[in-house]
Amino acid sequence: MGFKTARLKQLSPGNYIAAVSGGVDSVVLLDLLVNSDEFLSDKFKFIVAHFDHGIRVDSDDDAKFVAELAKKYDLSFETKCEKLGSGASEELARNRRYAFLRALAKEHNAKIITAHHADDVVETVAINLKRGTGWRGLAILDSDIVRPLIDISKVEIIDYAKQHNLQWHEDSTNASDTYLRNRIRQRLVTLDDDSKRQILALRAQQVELKHQIDEEVAQLVGTGPDYGRYFFTQGDDLAALECLRFLTNRRLTRPQLERALIAIKTAKPGTIYEAGAGVEFGFTSRNFTIKLIK
């Protein structure tokens, strides 16, 4: 896991929303971006984005700090504050943060770039395994979001920050046992580098497997708009769930997919089934359609 700033050269020309919390990871990412060849090219545009979740009473200090960073680097700055409160879950905070980032990305026709690193991968795999994940729980952090530091360790990131005299803000909630990720992180402190490399390799294999399955599913289900109920009724349930995940644009959770499959098998013609997350199924005697509501 060598620290290779050359990874930033893999960025394709365009606009980027750089998610900066003020922590060491995103501060290092921002410094790498502004010191890259891409930063000097008129084919690239970087916008600093900060989401103030309002979980901590001092969270506005982070927003001010990131605003100053953007000013220092002469970059545009976008922020949003939501008073989620101290009782907000990690999931809620993450969902609201990404809703903000995706809205910005749409507004600026941009891609989102984050500072997720190798230790984040290991922690997320551990969390998903603890929760009893399926195989997709290992194919994590694989989406349209750009993550140039995904193979870089936390130790290397901190070393870079110290070597370049960077300043950052420590999130006080990182020391709290309230959040599962923090408890997992404390247990993984003693995990050796070889074990981490094996987990990263496993994750890479699962990501590749996911892409292969998605390609097969796309060919199998076709383009719609009608899909045969017979295949989903008589075929293997696991295969049917993978097909439904693809057709519903991955909006549904595993339990929601399972209930939708039951509806496909049992719903009367002419009925509508609302699966959640803006996904609606309509049925005839032989077929069904899927409507994705924004």
Q: In the chain, what are the domain boundaries?
A: 5-125+140-192, 222-292
- Angle value at C-alpha 150, between 146 and 154, nearest 5 degrees: 130
Which tens digits make up the pLDDT trace of 29-76? Answer: 999 998 887 777 788 899 999 999 887 777 889 999 999 999 999 999
Is residue 33 a contact partner of residue 40, using CB atoms and an 8 Å limit?
Answer: no
238 or 4: whose pLDDT is higher?
A: 238
> What's 280's DSSP letter?
E
Most confident stretch, 37-46, 81-90, 103-112, 194-203 = 103-112
- Cα 124 to Cα 71, 149, 184, distances in angstroms: 33, 15, 9
> What's 88's DSSP letter?
-
- Cα 16 to Cα 9, 121, 159, 189, 252, distances in angstroms: 14, 22, 26, 33, 28
Q: State how far the Cα of 117 lies from the Cα of 242, in Å rounded to an integer.
A: 28
Q: What is the CA radius of gyration of the chain?
A: 22
Looking at CATH, the fold of the domain delimited by 5-125+140-192 is given as Rossmann fold (3.40.50)
Amino acid 179: pLDDT:
65
SS3 string of 17-46?
EEECCCCHHHHHHHHHHHCCHHHHCCCEEE
Residue 167: exposed, middle, or buried by beta-carbon count in 10 A (0-12, 13-18, 19+)?
exposed
Q: How confident is the model at residue 177 (pLDDT cuts 50, 70, 90)?
A: low
Q: How confident is the model at residue 253 (pLDDT cuts 50, 70, 90)?
A: confident
Separation of first and last alpha carbons in the chain: 40
Rounded to the nearest angstrom, the gap between the alpha carbon of residue 183 and the centroid of all alpha carbons in its chain is: 20
Determine the average pLDDT of the residues in 187-209. Answer: 84
Q: State how far the Cα of 181 lies from the Cα of 145, in Å rounded to an integer.
A: 21
Is residue 8 predicted with pLDDT exceeding 70? no
Tokens 């193979």 label which residue? 151
Is residue 170 a contact partner of residue 23, using CB atoms and an 8 Å limit?
Answer: yes
Task: For residue 56, give the 3-state DSSP assignment.
Answer: coil
Tokens 């990690």 label which residue? 90
